[in-house]
Amino acid sequence: MLLEKWKGTDESMKMRLRGTLHNEDESEVTEVTTVEVEVPDFEAFTGSDTFGEVFDQYEQTALEARNGVMKAVTEKYLNELAKKNTVRDRGTSRESH
Amino acid sequence: MSWQKKTQSETEVQAGKVIEKPNDYGIDAEIGRLAVPTFEIKRGSQKVFSTGRDVFPETGSREHYKTVRFRELALFFPCDEPFRKSAQKLNRVLRRKEGQQVRARTMANLVEREGEQIQAYVGKKAERILEDHGFTADGSLTDQEKARSSIEGSDVTLDHKVLSHMIEELNRGQEKEKQIELSELNETFEDPNAVKANISLDDVCCKKQKVSGRKKGSLPKEKREMVYNTVAHIQNKESKTYTLNTSTISQMMIVVLAFLLSNGLMSTPGSLVFFTDGARDIRSAIQDIFRFLPFKIILDWFHLEKKCKDLLSMAIKGKQIKNQILTEVLAWLWLGKVERAINVLSDLKEDTIKSTTERDNLIKYLHRNQACIPCYALRKKLGLRISSNPVEKANDLLVSTRQKHNGMSWSADGSTSLATLTSVRRNDEHIYWLHHHDIRFSFPQPAANPAA
């Protein structure tokens, strides 16, 4: 794999994606989620004939990183939601069975 | 990002004049539709650098470069679903907004172009392989010396003791005339563990697209034109399979020969067995290409049975008599005793015959295919194949399931291209093709090989 070749070499570049959830007053709802991945350096694009292959490595990594961040942020979002008792907040009581 | 018309801007640098091009370079990716500014460096009137040529692959004037991930989705969704549904699915998966959506027509063009490229590549690869092994591009053997190392003509047949034992079992309790005599059999029985390959070949057709609509008042054509695809299913002794498709049988035979040579299947001792439905063009194409070594053609039992049923229905008066004769004829054919089956047909009483032409057609058919009719009973007992059903299934998977539905019609290129992409995916060659524009032309790994 091309990515393996770039790992730990001078020819790799890092992409960092940060995902946060915050209120309008900028207070954080969840902690920051950061995903860092290695993507091909500009030097890896040696010509138009290799563009497809190198860009594919970039695209694959970028898509996985994007999905990873979104998954983690959404899980945190739902985790926070699960902690809230939204029913009681609205002033309605639960039925006891 | 929208496509805005920009004005050309110029800057002087040491290497020459840097010109920002008015049109962005378009990329269709799974990430989204991207627009990248492009530049040119000109020294005098000479273009010394161009982003659209030296960094990105060259594309047409309004064409978007399509990334591997995008092509994977856009090319292989239509293998399972109509182009319109595929386009809807693709736009939904990629969350494409209005104005950036992929159109069904674009997908159809993409499939056709890619399919043609694969066909052309396979054709060239086959030519190269043939030349490397001492053949001409059309499959004629020219260099005996070169071919000697890659072709082994010897056959590996089953032991006589095994055959005798099986025949004994089959003959037990049978009338004398229905017993099988080993000495009477003109065929050999290949050792299934030492075959070069079992190759099943067939043609499959779908409706041809009309060039233009019917004019008012014009008479409908008598016969609907069809588009043909030839499909081959190759199975080696380890039961690994590879499926090929071409638009003609002659092309197919060249590709099959190249595949066998490149995978070293011709250099191992053993039989080369072809399974067909009895089509004359397929048989003569096999005989033309593979005349340099012994091979065997087996007529598929299902097709033989069907042919007898169809022709006897037209030849004989009355259902009961027809069924009686059919049973008798098929019983002889199952034992491989073609002459006896022909005698039954020849000795029919005049008052039972509805059409002597059809009866004679069946007799001619049996004469013509006599060499391809084995002793099915013994082959079945020995666990050898008697059917070309793997290619029938391949026909369904490559063509029929997708292309043969009400209201569907195809151009020759469109049909073959779609079948080509489906076969490339079945052979687990699609990702390799998308990355390298190359076909490995070898059996897929067992885990990736779908059941056939």
Residues B14 and B132 in one domain: no
Residue B291's domain spans which residues? 106-155+190-210+225-298+409-452
Residues B135 and B267 in one domain: yes
Residues in chain A with CB shorter than 8 Å from the CB of B436 are 53
The answer to whether residue A91 neighbours chain B at the CB level (below 8 Å) is no
- Structural domain contains residue A67: yes
- Structural domain contains residue A1: no
- Structural domain contains residue A88: no
DSSP one-letter code for A93 = P
What was the pLDDT predicted at B298? 96
Structure tokens at B129: 């392989």
The nearest CA of chain B is from the CA of A72 a distance in Å of: 19
The answer to whether residue B428 neighbours chain A at the CB level (below 8 Å) is no
Residues B204 and B132 in one domain: yes
Alpha helices in B338-438 (DSSP H): 338-346, 356-368, 376-381, 389-395, 401-403, 412-426, 430-436
The string of pLDDT tens digits covering residues B335-390 is: 999 999 999 999 999 899 999 999 999 999 999 999 999 999 999 999 999 999 99
What was the pLDDT predicted at B176? 87
The answer to whether residue B438 neighbours chain A at the CB level (below 8 Å) is no
Residues B203 and B284 in one domain: yes
The string of pLDDT tens digits covering residues B332-347 is: 999 999 999 999 999 9
The string of pLDDT tens digits covering residues B46-81 is: 888 888 889 999 998 889 999 999 999 999 999 999
Residues B59 and B202 in one domain: no
- Structural domain contains residue B143: yes
CB of B443 closer than 8 Å to CB of B240: yes
The nearest CA of chain B is from the CA of A84 a distance in Å of: 32
Number of domains in chain B: 2
Residue A67's domain spans which residues? 7-83
Number of domains in chain A: 1
- Structural domain contains residue B60: yes
The nearest CA of chain B is from the CA of A79 a distance in Å of: 26
- Structural domain contains residue B395: no
- Structural domain contains residue A2: no
Residues B23 and B116 in one domain: no
Distances (CA, A) of B11 to B21, B91, B172, B288, B375: 12, 40, 96, 66, 83
CB of B41 closer than 8 Å to CB of B48: yes
Distance CA B416, CA A56 (A): 28
- Which run of H or E residues covers position B23? none
The answer to whether residue B72 neighbours chain A at the CB level (below 8 Å) is no
- Structural domain contains residue A93: no
Tell which of B18, B44, B66 closes a domain.
Answer: B66
The string of pLDDT tens digits covering residues B392-415 is: 999 999 999 999 999 899 999 999
Q: Which parts of chain A sit beneath pLDDT 50?
A: 1-8
- Structural domain contains residue B40: yes
Residues B52 and B151 in one domain: no
Structure tokens at B280: 């004359």
Cβ separation B67–A47 shorter than 8 A: no
The string of pLDDT tens digits covering residues A57-72 is: 999 999 999 999 999 9
Structure tokens at B180: 């099988």
Distance CA B253, CA B282 (A): 9
What was the pLDDT predicted at A15? 95
What was the pLDDT predicted at B106? 94
Distances (CA, A) of B23 to B4, B7, B66: 8, 9, 17
The answer to whether residue B80 neighbours chain A at the CB level (below 8 Å) is no
- Tell me the pLDDT band of B446, cut-offs 50, 70 and 90: low
- Structural domain contains residue A66: yes
Mean pLDDT (whole number) for B287-302: 94
Q: Is the whole model's pTM more than 0.90, yes or no?
A: no
- Structural domain contains residue B333: no
- Structural domain contains residue B343: no
- Structural domain contains residue A71: yes
- Structural domain contains residue B166: no
The answer to whether residue A53 neighbours chain B at the CB level (below 8 Å) is yes
- Structural domain contains residue B248: yes
- Length of chain B, in residues: 452
Distance CA B286, CA B260 (A): 14
- Tell me the pLDDT band of B143, cut-offs 50, 70 and 90: confident
If you average pLDDT over every residue of chain B, what do you get? 91
- Structural domain contains residue A14: yes
Residue B179 CB coordination number (10 Å)? 15
Residues B35 and B147 in one domain: no
